C-alpha cells in the first residue's frame, strides 16, 4: 500500500513540487501493480484528501474541501489491506 494524495490526480495551484511527487507515487504504484500482478502481488495507492494534522495547522481550507481526520485516512489504508 502506497500513500500519495488527491494532489496525485488533481494538481492544486501553488503546489507544483508537492503535486509532482504525488503524481510520481501514483505512477509508481500503477506500474508496480502491472508488473507484479503475475506474481500474485497486489499494489494499491491510497489518495487521501487534505488531512487535519499539525502539518496544515494555521492554513485555511481551499476549494478542495474540508480536511478529514487522520482516522479516516487510516481506515482507508486498512480497507486497502482487506
Annotated active-site residue 23? The verdict is no
CB atoms under 10 Å from CB of 19, counted, come to 19
Give me 59's grid cell. 492554513
Question: Cell digits for 75?
Answer: 481506515
Query: Catalytic residue among 11, 18, 33, 44, which?
Result: 18
Q: Which residues of 27-54 are buried (b: 16+ CB within 10 A; e: fewer)?
A: eebeebeeeeeeeeeebebbbbebebee
Which active-site residues does the annotation give? 18
Amino acid at each position: 500500500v502506497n500513500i500519495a494524495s488527491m494532489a496525485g490526480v488533481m494538481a492544486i495551484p501553488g503546489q507544483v513540487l508537492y503535486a509532482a511527487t504525488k503524481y510520481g507515487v501514483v505512477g509508481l504504484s500503477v506500474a508496480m501493480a502491472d508488473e507484479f500482478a503475475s506474481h500474485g502481488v497486489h499494489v494499491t495507492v491510497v489518495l487521501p484528501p487534505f488531512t487535519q494534522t499539525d502539518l496544515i495547522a494555521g492554513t485555511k481550507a481551499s476549494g478542495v474541501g474540508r480536511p478529514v481526520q487522520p482516522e479516516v485516512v487510516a481506515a482507508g489504508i486498512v480497507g486497502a489491506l482487506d
